[in-house]
């Protein structure tokens, strides 16, 4: 289904008897594919071929106007015991990677004091604690800008 619109790919997969369908943001920003017609398929797991119809299919997607990445960034992974380097990642992906018990403050790094409403549209420029620091419950702070803006 690579290169097809997400809605079309889902319809075709269902017509072939596959119903265990999921999708994710191939850029790793954690965006939901709420309007399937606005997304296209970059790759799929498992790869095309003969599979039992109870096989789960996951489509890696980007918005129609975006280029597919050379490598699927996948879903955000749990942070573990040390602070990951979130620079260039979406605020949403960072929030999903950190345990829900962490206090997180996000500021507009452009100096315009904008409200960060849709966190998947904002990339992290700076972070405290620094990457590699042991995660021990202290509050986390991010400065972020919109993805089309420089840090």
Supply the pLDDT for residue 80: 86
Supply the pLDDT for residue 137: 92
Supply the pLDDT for residue 36: 95
Supply the pLDDT for residue 82: 94
pTM of the model: 0.81
Cβ pair 91, 127 in contact under 8 A = no
Supply the pLDDT for residue 78: 85
Supply the pLDDT for residue 77: 79
Mean pLDDT of successive 10-residue segments in the chain (151 residues)?
96 96 95 94 94 96 97 86 95 94 97 96 97 95 97 95
Supply the pLDDT for residue 98: 95
């Amino acid at each position: 289904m690579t290169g097809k619109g997400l809605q079309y790919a889902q319809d075709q997969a269902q017509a072939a008897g596959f119903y265990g369908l999921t999708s994710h943001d191939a850029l790793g920003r954690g965006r939901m594919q709420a309007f399937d017609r606005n997304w296209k398929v970059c790759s799929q797991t498992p790869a095309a071929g003969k599979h039992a119809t109870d096989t789960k299919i996951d489509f890696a997607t980007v918005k129609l106007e975006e280029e597919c990445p050379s490598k699927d960034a996948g879903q955000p992974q749990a942070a573990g015991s040390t602070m990951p380097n979130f620079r260039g990642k979406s605020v949403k992906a960072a929030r999903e990677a950190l345990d829900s018990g962490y206090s997180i403050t996000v500021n507009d790094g452009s100096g315009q004091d904008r409200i960060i409403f849709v966190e998947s549209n904002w990339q992290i420029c700076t972070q405290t604690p620094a990457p590699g620091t042991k995660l021990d419950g202290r509050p986390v702070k991010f400065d972020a800008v919109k993805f089309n803006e420089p840090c």
